[in-house]
Amino acid sequence: MRRKLAAGNWKMNGTSADLAQIEALAQAHSSALSEILIAPPTPLLHRASQVAKSKAITIGAQDCHKRERGAHTGDVSAEMLLDAGASYVILGHSERRADHDEHDEDVRAKARAALAAGLRVIICLGEELEEREADNTLDIIGGQLAGSIPDDISSDSLVVAYEPIWAIGTGKVPSIAQIGEVHDFIRARLEKRFGHATAKAIRLLYGGSVKPANAAEIFAVENVDGALVGGASLKAEDFSPIIAALDES
């Protein structure tokens, strides 16, 4: 049985005043069936993990460096994130790939560092609109999966997020059939690479303009085990109904 996961990516949003959102979520979902994860910006990690402590919320980071330590001004290692209270790290988000020129091999190296430090990784894969229109979606996703996911994963340490780039923050969402096709494809590729038992236990998230209004129909898709949510995770009042829809799916 895969435990459902509702993951909120706050991106570069939030200061200490927003920790109240985590508190509100923890109170509203103290007996949630789904796992609830918030990935706040790095300066909030420690305080967020204090707020979430012994509550129904886990805390994640949004990136890490591929090296353990050293002369990398401004960067943060996986061990530091763990020490600050994170138990997950999101890697290969399309905004990191675009803004920081991160390629599959960078994502893979970061994932290896994160796993070695004891973090779980959420690895993001997704196609551009032109790639979808050219009918190249599955080739792109297959290539990213092969390149970004390291060999030494376990079903517990890896979560894969399918995030079509054209759906992130745009209000556009693929059709239910399109989401289902990509999630089935990812599951099949994982099975080929890691074997049936491991692949069956890896959680696959959909991300891209998930809102309270569309969450239930997305969560009804086979092989969708939860969501990676940006904008709608910033306020407890928006994220809460998404978590509730996941619990009910």
Residue 111 CB, shortest distance to ligand PEP, in Å, is 17
Amino acid at 54: S
Q: Is the CB of 21 or the CB of 209 nearer to ligand PEP?
A: 209
Residues found near ligand PEP in the complex (CB under 6 A): 9, 163, 168-169, 207-210, 228-232
CB of 33 to ligand PEP, least distance (A): 22
Nearest to ligand PEP of 128, 191 (CB atom): 128
Task: Supply the minimum distance, in Å, between the C-beta of residue 207 and ligand PEP.
Answer: 4
C-alpha closest to that of 166 among 186, 204, 137 = 137
**At its nearest, how many Å lie between ligand PEP and the CB of residue 232?**
6
Q: Is 163 a catalytic residue?
A: yes
**Minimum CB separation from ligand PEP for residue 5, in Å?**
13
**Cβ closer to ligand PEP: 194 or 215?**
215
Task: Tell me whether residue 18 or residue 163 sits nearer to ligand PEP (CB atom).
Answer: 163
Question: Given 93, 102, 127, 183, which residue is catalytic?
Answer: 93
Could you give the CA distance from residue 13 to residue 15 in angstroms, rounded to a whole number? 7
46 annotated active-site:
no
The per-residue DSSP string of the chain comes to -PPPEEEEE-TT---GGGHHHHHHHHHHTTT-SSEEEEE--GGGHHHHHHHHTTTTEEEEES---SSSSSS-TT---HHHHHHTT-SEEEES-HHHHHHS---HHHHHHHHHHHHHHT-EEEEEE---HHHHHTT-HHHHHHHHHHHHS-SS--TTTEEEEE--GGGTTTS----HHHHHHHHHHHHHHHHHHH-HHHHHHSEEEEESS--HHHHHHHHTSTT--EEEESGGGSSHHHHHHHHHHHHH-
> Could you tell me the smallest distance in angstroms from the CB atom of residue 247 to ligand PEP?
19
Give residue number: closest CB to ligand PEP. 230
By beta-carbon proximity to ligand PEP, the closer residue of 84 and 168 is 168
**Among 79, 95, 102, 163, the one annotated catalytic:** 163
The residue (of 114 and 168) whose beta carbon lies closer to ligand PEP is: 168
Q: Which residues are catalytic?
A: 93, 163
